[in-house]
Structure 1
Amino acid sequence: MEIKAKEIFELLPHRYPFLLIDKILELDKEGEYIKVLKNVTINEPFFQGHFPGNPIMPGVLILEAMAQAAAAGLKFIFPEYKNSLFVFAGADKVRFRHPVYPGDTLILEAKGFKKKGRIIKTYAVAKVGEKVVAEAELIAGLREED
């Protein structure tokens, strides 16, 4: 199963230049698992300043891409939240293991979604090939209406 941009737009409120996932590769509702692809290109606006002559994807954006992958997954795993807005509420045990460069294909995986009240936690990992480049426990909160 592949889910491309148009359907991702229906799941997430993010848009260019902040939508950081390109395609959902795998989704296992019962196993509470999602696998997402992000193509990292030199055209990304952040590479202009991070760092000139030595472009490296900022760790905070890798973390955000992991959170977006997890947000897409939770919309499938908890269908009652399909039209709800979740916001990034925190991250624990964050580790950046290797840099990500233009031309890399980032594979983002989230699994083990746990719900408690308005909070959902999951474990996420980012890989380039088989190399883990980042991992974290992510926390999302259901946003209340203002």
Structure 2
Amino acid sequence: MAEDTPTPKGDMQVADIMRVMQLLPHRYPMLLIDRIIDIDGDKSAVGIKNVTINEPHFQGHFPDMPVMPGVLIVEAMAQTAGAVVMNNMGAVADTKTVYFMTIDGARFRKPVVPGDVLELHVSMIRSRGPVWKYSGKAMVGDSLVAEAEFSAMIADRDASQGTQPPKIAKAQAKPTGDA
């Protein structure tokens, strides 16, 4: 007897820049992916970033020898994963926002320079409730240039506050006995 397995919401193979901008709140200069290919539900995908000399970080990040900052490579991996998760959520995504939570095991192997096509391979490690964890590998051609694991939280967007992060309760200070 065959099992009935529903097709994941939003299952697709490619997201062009217009779809990426529907899925993420980021805009230039912080939108760091140009398209997403090879999407497999929320399990994995490959983001594409065309690295160009006219990006603002190259004006100050080694102008005589421009190198894409590693933190932006990790951000591009996280944006790829975030867009894939939001795409898989379907219409509910319109009321949600993705917030970066952690970066683990980041390694930068080779510099990324203008003219490179950065491929951002992301794979889901797990999801528990609103928290998603992915691993990412950034490639230029056949070369591994960076890798990391990262997690994000999917939170309700408060319509009255735009896309403000959720409030996190502050720990109460304990008295020390000093007056």
Letter in 1 for 2:53: I
RMSD across aligned C-alpha pairs, in angstroms? 1.6
Q: After the TM superposition, which of the residue ranges 101-110 and 136-145 deviates more from structure 2?
A: 136-145
State whether residues 96 and 135 of structure 1, in contact with CA within 8 Å, keep that contact through their aligned partners in structure 2: yes
Runs of 5+ in structure 1 lacking a partner?
Answer: none
Aligned mates of 1:133, 1:94 — CA distance in 2:
11
Which residue of structure 2 lines up, in the alignment, with residue 25 of structure 1? 37
1:138 equivalent among 150, 174, 177:
150
**Kindly tell me: are residues 34 and 81 of structure 1, through their superposed partners in 2, closer, same or farther at Cα, counting changes over 3 Å?**
farther
2:79 alignment partner, SS class: helix
State whether residues 94 and 136 of structure 1, in contact with CA within 8 Å, keep that contact through their aligned partners in structure 2: yes
How many residue pairs get matched? 145
State whether residues 73 and 110 of structure 1, in contact with CA within 8 Å, keep that contact through their aligned partners in structure 2: no
Aligned mates of 1:63, 1:29 — CA distance in 2:
21
Aligned mates of 2:63, 2:27 — CA distance in 1:
25
- 1:116-131 pair list within 5 angstroms: 116-131=128-143
State whether residues 124 and 132 of structure 2, in contact with CA within 8 Å, keep that contact through their aligned partners in structure 1: no
State whether residues 55 and 102 of structure 1, in contact with CA within 8 Å, keep that contact through their aligned partners in structure 2: yes
Letter in 2 for 1:53: D
Runs of 5+ in structure 2 lacking a partner?
Answer: 1-12, 159-165, 167-179
2:64 alignment partner, SS class: coil
Q: Give the % identical residues.
A: 44
Which residue of structure 1 lines up, in the alignment, with residue 176 of structure 2? none
2:80 alignment partner, SS class: helix
User: Given the two structures, how large is their TM-score scaled by the length of structure 2?
Assistant: 0.76
Q: Verify: 1:71 aligned to 2:97, yes or no.
A: no
**Kindly tell me: are residues 50 and 88 of structure 1, through their superposed partners in 2, closer, same or farther at Cα, counting changes over 3 Å?**
same
Which residue of structure 2 lines up, in the alignment, with residue 43 of structure 1? 54
Structure number with greater CO (CA < 8 Å, separation at least 6) is 1
Residues 61-106 of structure 1, C-alpha deviation per residue, up to 9 Å, x if partnerless?
0010011011011123444752310111011111111110000000
Q: Verify: 1:114 aligned to 2:126, yes or no.
A: yes
Letter in 1 for 2:116: D
State whether residues 120 and 138 of structure 2, in contact with CA within 8 Å, keep that contact through their aligned partners in structure 1: yes
State whether residues 133 and 149 of structure 2, in contact with CA within 8 Å, keep that contact through their aligned partners in structure 1: yes
State whether residues 138 and 147 of structure 2, in contact with CA within 8 Å, keep that contact through their aligned partners in structure 1: yes
Which residue of structure 1 lines up, in the alignment, with residue 115 of structure 2? 103
